[in-house]
Chains A and B, each alone.
Chain A
Amino acid sequence: MSLDKATVARIATLARIEVPEDQLEPLARELSGILGWIEQLGEVDTSAVEPMRSVMDIRQDWRPDTVDAGDCQADILKNAPKAHDGFFVVPKVVE
């Protein structure tokens, strides 16, 4: 699979990463190289294989659906680039 500039630009938008125009072409080459190398997986017959989603056969724990943490507004806001009056401040979403 070979990726062109337009596809790389589309993926970058999906990933919300700004990529300067002059880097699209080199990135397309690199990503095509990696994807071309990955393509060899097509050789493996996986017709009767269940996808492996978890590597260990561990029973996942259940816990009561109760609040066991919280009351830490100040801690949560401590790292905010912008905060005001107990809230995160974000750029305007609705014009």
Chain B
Amino acid sequence: MTSDLTRLTLKAARDGLARKDFSAGELTRAHLAAMEKARGLNAFITETPEKAVAMAEAADRRLGTGEGGLLEGLPVAIKDLFCTQGIATTAASHILDGFVPPYESTVTARLWAQGAVCLGKTNLDEFAMGSSNITSHHGPVGNPWTRTGDSSQLVPGGSSGGSAAAVAGRMALAATGTDTGGSIRQPASFCGIAGIKPTYGRCSRWGTVAFASSLDQAGAFARTVEDCALFLQAMAGHDPKDSTSADLAVPDWSGRLSGRVKGLRIGLPKEYRVEGMPSEIERLWQQGADWLKAEGAEVVEISLPHTKYALPTYYIIAPAEASSNLARYDGMRFGLRVEGKNLAETYMKTRGLGFGDEVRRRILIGTYVLSAGYYDAYYLKAQKVRRRIAEDFTSAFKEVDAILTPTAPSAAFRIGEKMDDPVAMYLNDVFTVPSSLAGLPGMSVPAGLSADGLPLGLQVIGRAWDEQTVLDVSRAIEDAAGFATLPYGLEA
């Protein structure tokens, strides 16, 4: 029974609770047991078992009286970038040592208001900067998947690696993530689960530790497209505390989910056929297009001519915004303080010791591109190219209703690989960064396995505010792919 409960989808668990097949307490305890068993993966930075049990008991009382929200009694995990009142929030950084927020982020407050149960805070790349979860101060996360016949531990992707591993490893029914350049979609692809980044402005950023404010957007991980729709519905919505959150009603995405693609036009951007892309990924991409065609969609080639400039643009804009956002970590009001002879030296030592290598690298790049004499050449130039990239999508969406691409140029790699060259690591996000720069919704859905037995995802990109089409196209791929393989050690 215990292991069965962790195999349910979010939707099936919700239905089971409604039918009183099991209690929220039982469901939560099954997941806490799974977390304990999989502790070696290091998916969580902070586990909150007592809180989870108390929240589940409260949910059972509400369910007993017929009350209860959209996610009543459903155990979920929270990326440790969302501030949670009374629970340590680290952003996986040394510099936030000891920080316990006295307030709750809007996204998590919405989840608790809908009855969700908090299992704990998941591991991530430090300040969400990375594509492998290797830059965490709290150690790397292991992917629940390993290659066929090779037990070497692989990365779960990043930055939301802990959330993706927790959902793939059947430790949580769903988890929050954040996506700045691919940090939900790439780990979803590496871990064989679904993950959606909604349109910029759908979810409030209030109370989420900031990385690059013009790009950061919260989103959802779950094992099915329908579960992602349900979970995202609870997270999203207008918040007066975030001036970039959109004052738009949140549609009933899960209720309207049809998976129907008949008559839709799907674009395949020719610039995404990048040099050196493994042929199995190219084949899977074509397979995805064929599946959609078989369901009545029309597939056409499109052009997004500025695609190759997206990554370099991103690596100006994101570090520039990060260098400004991370200026707040000065050791004075919260977190780590390393005493120096005077104030200036205290700043230098606190930030020198508190930030890891990748965060330091990005702050330095950001400081440089914003510094006097270089601002126009780098930062202003990047903002102009960003408009070109966004215009590519605007033109494309005059011709098509959604865009289909691979999520990442490879499957999960070994911990330690791609570590020598920062640019090689950045290339992980080559397919996800362009739509991030344009603020568009994107989803990764598991579509197949690599030759060595690892999950590969396909990405669906939609028009701004049209998460529904993204979800429907993703659902059609999910149905056609019938992806049912479980990570090693979790087979039925």
Residues of A within 8 A of B (CB): 3, 7-8, 11-20, 27, 30-31, 33-35, 37-44, 46, 49-56, 58, 60-61, 63, 72, 75-76, 78-82, 88, 90-93, 95
* Known contacts A11-B371, A52-B390, A54-B244; A88/B332 CB under 8 A: yes
Q: Per a CB cutoff under 8 Å, which of B102, B306, B330, B423 touches A16?
A: B330
Residue in B200, B381, B388 whose CB lies within 8 Å of A56? B200
Q: What residues on B are CB-neighbors of A61 within 8 Å?
A: 240, 243, 247
Chain A nearest Cβ from B328, distance in angstroms: 12
- Say whether B439 contacts A55, CB under 8 Å: yes
Q: Is B106 an interface residue (CB 8 A)?
A: no
Distance in angstroms from B398 CB to nearest chain A CB is 17
With A30-B422, A61-B247 in contact, is A79–B100 under 8 Å at CB? yes
How far is A55 from B352 in the complex, measured between Cα atoms in Å? Answer: 33
- Taken together as a complex, chains A and B put the C-alpha atoms of A49 and B387 apart, in Å, by 7
A52 and B337 in contact (CB under 8 A), knowing A41-B382, A92-B342? no
A interface majority secondary structure: loop
Question: Residues of A contacting B439 with CB < 8 Å?
Answer: 55-56
For the complex formed, measure the closest distance between the CB of A63 and the CB atoms of chain B, giving whole angstroms.
Answer: 7
B383 within 8 A of A: yes
A-B contact count (CB 8 A): 167
Q: Which of A30, A33, A40, A81 contacts B331 (CB 8 A)?
A: A81
Chain A residues contacting B365 (CB-CB under 8 Å) are 31, 34-35
Q: How far is the CA of A61 from the CA of B421 in the complex (A)?
A: 43
| Interface CB pairs A-B, < 8 A, 23 | A3-B368, A12-B364, A15-B323, A15-B363, A15-B364, A17-B351, A17-B352, A35-B368, A38-B378, A40-B308, A41-B385, A46-B385, A51-B386, A52-B383, A52-B384, A53-B214, A58-B201, A76-B333, A81-B335, A81-B336, A90-B346, A91-B339, A92-B342
Chain B's nearest CB lies how many Å from the CB of A32?
11
New A-B pairs, 7, CB < 8 Å, besides A43-B309, A78-B100: A3-B368, A41-B385, A44-B385, A54-B214, A56-B439, A58-B246, A58-B247
- Residues 347-387 of B, flagged 1 when their CB comes within 8 A of A and 0 if not, give 11101110100001101110110010000001011111111
Across the interface, name the chain A residue whose C-beta is closest to B312: A38
Chain B residue contacts of A80, Cβ below 8 A: 332-334
Write out the residue numbers on chain B whose beta carbons fall within 8 Å of the beta carbon of A56: 199-201, 244, 246, 439, 464
List residues of chain A with CB within 8 A of the CB of B353. Answer: 18
A3→B368 CA distance, assembly (Å):
10
Q: A50 and B387: CB pair below 8 A?
A: yes
Shortest A44–chain B CB gap in Å is: 5
A3 to B371, CA, bound (A): 14
Which listed residue, A39, A42, A55, touches B438 by the CB 8 Å rule? A55
CB <8 Å contact, B330 and A41? no
Determine the residue in chain A with the shortest Cβ distance to B199: A56
A13: which B residues are within 8 A, CB to CB?
348
Measured CB to CB, the closest approach of chain A to B85, in angstroms, equals 10
| Cβ-defined contact, B352 with A19, below 8 A | yes
